[in-house]
Structure 1
Amino acid sequence: MVILGIDPGLANTGWGIVEERFGEVRCRAYGCIQTSAGSGLSVRLRHIADDLAQVVARYHPGEASIESVYFGANVRSAIPTAHARGAALVACSLAGVEVGEYTPMQIKQAVVGTGAADKAQVTYMVRNLLRLDHDPKPDHAADALACAICHAHLRRTDLLSAGAFVQEKGNPYA
């Protein structure tokens, strides 16, 4: 299964493509979509949606995952992120790609083992879980890969716990 992970942001939207086969997750590609602060909101959102549509067309993910918006102390910064997240969701929806949504804590828990992990710990574990010889850069791409890894792990856990692995034709876990 090819999975697209998305770390939404208006200035920088990270994306990562992983492939999960027989319980192993491997990196296929990653990158970051940057938009100019000097451009209007609609132009920036269109840029995010168009670039993600190109990623989907190139790598043909079967599913996608996206980080949910964390409102924390600064709601003002969460609004542009929510806009970028909407553009990403539309790009996936138009391509017929189903999207799983995960909180930052869920992603950190799935990748590092604790929801309190910092960025350096997440990047370290992404590098090791995907057997990369370098840290994925920028951080937004590493976060997107972490989101995709989270989806792969939780998807596999759901399949195993539901017993669906026995019934799902062609599933490597059967």
Structure 2
Amino acid sequence: MIIIGLDPGLGCTGWGVIAKSGNRLSHIANGQVKTDPAQPLAERLVVLDRELTDVILAHRPDAGAVEEVFVNSNAQSTLKLGQARGVCLLALARAGLPVAEYATRLVKKALVGTGAAEKAQVQAMLKVLLPGVKLAGADAADALAVAITHAHVGR
């Protein structure tokens, strides 16, 4: 089974693709989709959709997993994150994939054993679970963590 994980963001959306065979996981690819903050919101969402669609077509996953939105103190930032997350959900659903959603604390707990884990701990565990992985950045690492969470707890 091939799983794609997404860590949504308007400025940068991370993606990570893994393969699961029995209890064994292997890294396929990871990366980040960055949008230009000087562009209008609608154009940034189009770029995000187009690039995610290209990744999905290139790797042909069997399932998708997306990190849930956390609410922060800046309502405008939360709305933009929600819009980017909507594009992520749409891209996966349009490809006909079953889509799961996971809270950040669950992702951290699934990888590190505690929902309060730091990003460095998650990235260290990724290197244990996916030996030799070269991370494209923090958002790509988070996306791989979401994919691994789905491999462990998804149905």
TM over 0.5: yes
Number of the residue aligned with 1:6: 6
For 1:35 and 1:88, locate their aligned partners in 2 and report how far apart those are by CA, in whole Å: 14
Q: Deviations over 1:92-112 (max 9, x none)?
A: 111101110000001000011
Q: CA RMSD in A?
A: 1.1
Structure-to-structure mapping, 1:25-40, within 5 angstroms: 25-40=25-40
Give 1:54 shift.
0.7
Secondary structure of the structure 2 residue equivalent to 1:64:
strand
For 2:113 and 2:74, locate their aligned partners in 1 and report how far apart those are by CA, in whole Å: 26
TM-score by length of 1: 0.86
Secondary structure of the structure 1 residue equivalent to 2:136:
coil
Q: Deviations over 1:102-134 (max 9, x none)?
A: 000010000111000011011111111111255
Number of the residue aligned with 1:149: 148
Number of the residue aligned with 1:139: 138
For 1:30 and 1:154, locate their aligned partners in 2 and report how far apart those are by CA, in whole Å: 21
Number of the residue aligned with 1:22: 22
Structure-to-structure mapping, 1:64-143, within 5 angstroms: 64-132=64-132, 134=134, 136-143=135-142
The answer to whether 1:62 aligns with 2:62 is yes
Higher RCO (Cα < 8 Å, 6 or more apart): 2
Give 1:23 shift.
0.7
Number of the residue aligned with 1:45: 45
Give the aligned residue type for 1:144: A
Percent identity between matched residues is 39
Gaps of 5+ in 2: none
Query: Which stretch shows the higher mean deviation, 79-88 or 28-37?
Result: 79-88
Gaps of 5+ in 1: 159-174
- Bigger radius of gyration, 1 or 2? 1
- How many residue pairs get matched? 155
TM-score by length of 2: 0.96
Give the aligned residue type for 1:48: L
Give 1:137 shift.
3.0
